[in-house]
Amino acid sequence: MDTLYPNILIFHSLIRWIISILFIVSIVRWYLKRNQTVKIELLDKRLINSFLIFVTIQLILGFELYFRSPLVNYFLTHFSEAIHLRQPRFFGMEHSSMMLTGIILVCVGIVKSKQKETPYKTLFIYYGFAFLIIFFSIPWEFSPLTSRPLWRWF
């Protein structure tokens, strides 16, 4: 039995809350500052850095899960049948690819914002789209796509 798998799943589940809170705080702040033509403030730099740290940890844990998950293993080894099944398809294909797309969008937004006169507007737009992609790809308990508990603990 892979003992790391359930522990990684707990951390991966918890970090979704940190990422969601950082997303919401950043998006609200940058919406309010969207027309300012100033350099990015220290607090906003800290928000960006914290987001990048947690999203990188989440990415590493996600890849670890991907190669340990029995669901993904089933998806990869029985592709033609599993592609028609909701949960294996979600974790084997949709969740991982949408999360990667969202994370890339955030990184592009951060780089582009450094070249713009209104950096907060650029951050707001890129973070906004990335948030929609990531939020709807999280298996919230209320998600119609795939439902998982809102909270996991040891």
Stretch that binds ligand HEM, among 26-34, 35-43, 92-100, 107-115 (CB under 6 A): 92-100
Neighbours of 113 (CB within 10 A): 22
User: Which positions from 135 through 154 interact with ligand HEM, judged by CB under 6 A?
Assistant: 138-139, 148-149, 152
Which position among 47, 71, 106, 123 is part of the footprint of ligand HEM (CB under 6 A)?
Answer: 71
One of 99, 110, 123, 125 touching ligand HEM (CB under 6 A): 99
Binding segment toward ligand HEM, per CB under 6 A, in 36-44, 45-53, 63-71, 75-83: 63-71
3-state secondary structure of 69: coil
Q: Determine the Cα–Cα distance for residues 21 and 24; give it in Å rounded to an integer.
A: 5
The dihedral through the CA atoms of 88, 14, 42, 33 has a sign that is positive
Is residue 87 within 8 A of residue 146, CB to CB? The reply is yes
Token pair 């809102």 is at which residue? 150
* 3-class secondary-structure state, position 39: coil
Q: Single out the residue of 22, 40, 72, 106 in contact with ligand HEM (rule: CB under 6 A).
A: 72
**Residues making contact with ligand HEM (CB under 6 A):** 9, 12-13, 16, 19, 55, 58-59, 62-63, 65-66, 69, 71-72, 91, 95-96, 99-100, 134, 138-139, 148-149, 152
